[in-house]
Amino acid sequence: MDDQVGFIVGWFKDTLTDAPVTDLFVLRLDGDLHESTIQALEPLYPKLSAGGYCIIDDYGNLNACASAVTDYRKAHGIDDEIIDIDGWGVYWRKSVP
C-alpha cells in the first residue's frame, strides 16, 4: 500500500456520492444486495476510465446483485461483454469510445 490507496468508512449510500475519487482503472464491487450494488455503481462507474475493468463479486451467486448490474447496464446502455471469473464473480472492460 502507498499514498495512492485510501479507505472510506461508511455505507455506500452515505459515502460514495461525495467520495474524493476521480479516475479509476479498476472498480471492484462487493455489494451483495441490489440496493448497495446500485449505490456503488451510480457514483463510481462514470469515473471508470475507458479501457478500465469493472469487477463484480457475487454476480453469479446472488440474484439481487446480478439484477442490479443488469438494471444499471440497461439504464446506461452498457453492452460490454460480461466475462465469468469463477462462477461467482464477473468482469467487463469498459469500452473505449
Residue numbers of the domain that contains 35: 22-93
DSSP the chain: --TT-----S-HHHHSTT-S---EEEEEE---SHHHHHHHHHHHGGGEEEEEEEEETTTTT-HHHHHHHHHHHHHTT--PPPEESSSS-EEEEPPP-
pTM of the shown model:
0.91
Q: Domain of 30: which CATH number?
A: 3.30.110
Asked whether residue 62 is domain-assigned, the answer is yes
Total number of domains constituting the chain: 1
60-87 pLDDT, tens digit each: 999 999 999 999 999 999 999 999 999 9
Asked whether residue 75 is domain-assigned, the answer is yes
Asked whether residue 88 is domain-assigned, the answer is yes
Asked whether residue 6 is domain-assigned, the answer is no
